[in-house]
Amino acid sequence: MKGYVILENGKIFEGVFHGEEKEVLCELVFTTGMTGYAESVSDPSYEGQALVLTYPMIGNYGINREDTESDRPWISALIVRELSPYASNYRSEENFSDYLARHGVPVISGIDTRAITRQLRTHGTMNALITSAKPGAPESRLGEIKNHRLKNSVLRVSRQRKEVYGQGSRHIALMDFGAKDNIIRSLVHRDCTVTVWPWDTPAGTILDSEPDGIMLSNGPGNPKDCAPALPHIRELMESLIPVLSICLGHQLVALAAGFETERLPFGHRGANHPVKDLDTGRIYLSSQNHGYCVVEDSVDQAMAEISHINVNDGTVEGLRFTTLPVSTVQFHPEASPGPRETAYLFDDFLSLVDRCKSGAALQVEAV
């Protein structure tokens, strides 16, 4: 069965449709990782998006629950060059194509994914219609495709009730805007009890649980859609409990502080994005998945300093507040997929938590 990807600029790509016959109207994005498709498709940050994988062979090592970042795929559709019909890996629990079909995620293979990627890099992130129906007069659908908007994605991916993981000596409160499982695993592995709270939980409720540290997770969409959470985030920041925020959490802390965010032309998605630590000058490879960034000129230097930048385009990749124990990073120290070079940020954050927990004098520093 043939399948079609119709971009909002009128370009049409034809391939082979896999899965349940249906139309999907979505935002189209690409990721450049050579591996890590299991982690990517199950990352809640991709909610409402069709994912183009630039690496040509996908599915050849199958999928297993240990590698996924949630209990289901969150992508709306998958676009690949070649979809392997079988898995060749001893850790595989299921064929990748069967996993996607079981969850109702359509796949189109046989597509020149790098040609689509060039379209997105040239024209910016675009909407697309994924369909198995031959487009007779695609121009009649372009208005519908262009007008599609992702809204309130966080509501669909955040937990609806409090959940607790681990039995460690440190108590970390995690605000869930679409948290990847490996954030939780990384904390539990480091002797933490992690209480995961829904995205709109009042600050007072979180503070009443007496956390030793607070984290804000990654998540999908425009950070300004989470405006109701900003007063609570501001209150948590002012509590003097150490805070570390990742990806969408980084953007939300910036908005809570009065800074601005903006949409990137085609986002940063992949496992090989270089970031520079401005304190040490050291370059790290990082895993990234975001379509928005903090506006550099909006950062009030009296409140916070930029700690990391993206080597490719110079955008803000981290903030360190000068009078509060609050640090943020735009990239993913938990990786999954990608390099683990920045996992030390968890250790530095927990060292600060331990010092504050022991009653040591608070000294704001990098994490």
Q: For the domain that residue 320 is a member of, what is the CATH number?
A: 3.40.50.880
Q: How confident is the model at residue 20 (pLDDT cuts 50, 70, 90)?
A: confident
Output the pLDDT for position 366.
43
Does the structure show a pLDDT above 70 at 56? yes
Residue 302: C-alpha distances to residues 143, 185, 306, 322, 361 (Å): 45, 35, 11, 7, 22
- 247 is an active site residue: yes
- In eight-state DSSP terms, residue 320 is E
304, 308, 309, 315: CA torsion to nearest 10? -40
219-250 tens-digit pLDDT = 999 999 999 999 999 999 999 999 999 999 99
Determine, yes or no, domain membership for 319: yes
Query: Does 163 lie in the same domain as 97?
Result: no
Is residue 126 over pLDDT 90?
A: yes
Do 120 and 160 fall into the same domain?
no
- Shared domain for 100 and 127, answered yes or no, is yes
Q: Could you list the residue range(s) of the whole structural domain that residue 130 is in? A: 2-150
Q: Is 26 a catalytic residue?
A: no
Q: What is the pLDDT of residues 151-160, one digit of tens each?
A: 889 999 999 9
Task: Read off the CATH number of the domain in which 106 is found.
Answer: 3.50.30.20
Q: How many domains does the chain have?
A: 2
Residue from 39, 47, 69, 334 carrying the catalytic annotation:
334
Query: Does some domain include residue 90?
Result: yes
Q: What is the pLDDT of residue 138?
A: 72
Residue 63 has a pLDDT of 97
Domain termination residue (choose one: 150, 177, 193): 150
- Let me know whether 130 and 189 are in one domain: no
Position 364 in a domain: no
How many CA atoms lie within 13 Å of 239's alpha carbon, on the beta-carbon side? 22
Q: Are residues 182 and 255 in the same domain?
A: yes
Tell me, what's the pLDDT at 360? 63
Q: What percent of the chain has pLDDT over 70?
A: 98
Does 365 fall in a domain? Answer: no
Q: Which of 26, 226, 247, 293 is catalytic?
A: 247
pLDDT in tens, 73-121: 999 999 999 999 999 999 999 999 999 999 999 999 999 999 999 999 9
Half-sphere exposure of residue 323, counting CA atoms within 13 Å on the CB side? 6
Q: Please say if 334 is a catalytic residue.
A: yes
What pLDDT score does 218 carry? 99
State the average pLDDT over residues 33-39. 95
Q: Are 29 and 49 in contact (CB under 8 A)?
A: yes
Q: Mean pLDDT in the chain?
A: 96
Averaged over 258-276, what is the pLDDT? 97
pLDDT of residue 362: 53
For the cut 70, the answer to whether the pLDDT of residue 314 exceeds it is yes
Residue % of the chain over a pLDDT of 90 = 93
Residues 321 and 223 in one domain: yes
Could you tell me if 109 and 257 lie in one domain? no
Identified catalytic residue from 18, 273, 308, 332? 332
Euclidean distance between CA atoms 317 and 250, whole angstroms? 9
Say whether both 198 and 230 belong to one domain: yes
